[in-house]
Structure 1
Amino acid sequence: MPAAVAAVFRLYLLRHAKAAWALPGQKDFDRTLDDTGFADAEIVAGMAADGGMRPDLVLCSTALRCRQTADAFRRAMTEDLDIRYVDELYAGGASVYRNVIGSQDSGLSALMVVGHNPVIEEILREILSEEAAIEAAPAGYPPGALAVIDFDMRPSADMLPPGTLTAWLDPDSHGR
């Protein structure tokens, strides 16, 4: 029996957890996670850590709700988790996300991107078939959900190759 081929690259796509509505005069950028969002981020981070899912690098939108979501992963995995904040992930479109994913050092084997919808869902649909994306997230990409995608070839700055969804962690499937 032939041995399974290891993935060349693993991408963790994480949509920030549920955020509170902006308060009067508050900028969207400064919205925080609400109580459900904090709990969901901890749940998904714990599930990922328990499953041995640990990225080499986390690239995170600078929006407060994304930073708070990424912090749950730092607490669940290790304090030395390498998290870098990328301004362009806050308002950037799919081309920005593609570029950020594809322009990483070739020695990197596992990358997590913490960002926003609708772009996170758009990237998921681009990497997977439309059918596979709908099967994973029939009602859309929920807040706090994590897609784990393996690639047989490395993404590049101008192209995300097809990938295989190897895990889907959704806080709503955890049962509170």
Structure 2
Amino acid sequence: MITVEPQPSRILLMRHARSAWAEPGGRDFDRPLDEHGFAEAEIVTSLAADRRYRPDLVLSSTALRCRQTADAARRAFGEECGMLFIDELYNGGVETYLEVLSTQKQAESVMLIGHNPRMEEVLQALLGDDRTAAAIPAGYPTAGLAVLDHGGTVAAAAGTWLLSDFLKG
């Protein structure tokens, strides 16, 4: 298992907001947010900005629903927040997500916008099973945003990342 150690020292894990169903003959990749999803994304990212959870960099899957969620983050955090869209996050496994996070050595705080079940698996990898189950007993909600801070200087393993907050729309 890939470990994520500081830097970054804060990770914001956001599942994309609620999406519409695929159009007949349409691709899953092209599913947009639905009306409720647009509202969720705006509410959660605005709340994060109000609480000063402003990331240095936003990393997002290239799927439409993730890009639209990232657009809400850009509006909430401002243009100075860097954005990077990564194709591998669309179908990538938990190892891909962790690898993407572990290579972000230039940013103090990173937001990752992706898909479930990967977001829940990344949270489990960083927090451990028991703390993840306590934080999200019904599973990772759409537009859910976990704010994780590193709990020390030792290489990260389950238990050294702390859940500071969990926001939802």
Aligned residues: 162
Letter of the structure 2 residue corresponding to residue 169 of structure 1: L
Cα offsets for 1:101-148 (capped at 9, x unmatched): 00112x321011100000100010111121211111110000100000
- With structure 2 as the length reference, what TM-score do the two structures score? 0.90
**What is the aligned-residue identity percentage?**
48
Verify: 1:124 aligned to 2:129, yes or no. no
Larger radius of gyration: 1
Do the aligned partners of 1:102 and 1:160 also contact (CA within 8 Å) in 2? no
Farther off after superposition, 71-80 or 136-145: 71-80
Aligned Cα root-mean-square deviation (Å) = 1.9
Aligned to 2:54: 54
Cα offsets for 1:42-65 (capped at 9, x unmatched): 000110010011111111000000
Aligned to 1:174: none
- With structure 1 as the length reference, what TM-score do the two structures score? 0.86
Q: Distance in 2 between matches of 1:46 and 1:110?
A: 17
Q: Distance in 2 between matches of 1:8 and 1:17?
A: 24
Verify: 1:35 aligned to 2:28, yes or no. no
Deviation at 1:27, TM superposition (A): 0.5
Aligned to 2:71: 71
Q: Distance in 1 between matches of 2:125 and 2:155?
A: 12
Unaligned regions of 5+ residues in structure 1, if any?
1-6, 172-176
1:90-101 mapped onto 2 (5 Å cutoff): 90-101=90-101
Residue aligned with 1:121, SS? helix
Do the aligned partners of 1:102 and 1:155 also contact (CA within 8 Å) in 2? no
Do the aligned partners of 1:8 and 1:154 also contact (CA within 8 Å) in 2? no
Do the aligned partners of 2:8 and 2:107 also contact (CA within 8 Å) in 1? no
Aligned to 2:23: 23
Q: Distance in 2 between matches of 1:53 and 1:10?
A: 9
Do the aligned partners of 1:98 and 1:160 also contact (CA within 8 Å) in 2? no
Residue aligned with 1:122, SS? helix
Distance 1:41 1:8, change over 3 A: closer
Aligned to 2:162: 164
Aligned to 2:4: none
Q: Distance in 1 between matches of 2:64 and 2:154?
A: 30
Q: Distance in 2 between matches of 1:86 and 1:53?
A: 22
Aligned to 1:102: 102
Cα offsets for 1:40-92 (capped at 9, x unmatched): 00000110010011111111000000000011011112123211000000000
Q: Distance in 1 between matches of 2:62 and 2:154?
A: 26
Q: Distance in 2 between matches of 1:63 and 1:8?
A: 24
